[in-house]
Copies of this chain bind each other. A is one copy, B any other.
Amino acid sequence: MKTKLTLSPDPIDEAALAKARSISDGMGAVVTFSGVVRGRENEATITSIDYESFDDMAKRQFELIFTEIEQRWPIESIRLVHRTGIVPVNEPSLWVEVVAAHRAEAFDACQHLIDQMKLRVPIWKKPIVT
């Protein structure tokens, strides 16, 4: 299974990520998820979220999750980008792509990845209210 993991303060360019995709002829399903910063957090109107990441541990934990996924589903590739620092409302903080032969495993693996990330990957958010 190929994996590409990016933690970076740069904006997530979904169009460029789509263009950079390369999949083999046996693959029939591409599931992507974008997690976008919402304008309200805990009843307050916010302008952005400041994401703090323990980068080395986050990478380690993502790699552990990738390995679990590889053992459980026939996935060709996973690409994951998590933006760090300040992410304005309406922009994605997370982008995940899972490529597989069939859609059931692509959907299952993508959701599992996000579920596990939210349990284990050391990234935290601080809403900015201005």
Contact = CB atoms under 8 A, between A and B. Distances in A.
What's the number of copies of this chain in the assembled complex? 2
A103 B90 CA distance: 15
A101 B38 contact: yes
A89 interface: yes
Interface string A37-75: 111100000000000000000000000000000000000
Q: Which of A23, A31, A106 has the most CB of B within 10 A?
A: A31
Given A18-B18, A27-B38, A89-B25, A111 B107 contact: yes
A28 B33 contact: no
A35 B25 contact: no
Contact of A25 (B15, B26, B90): B90
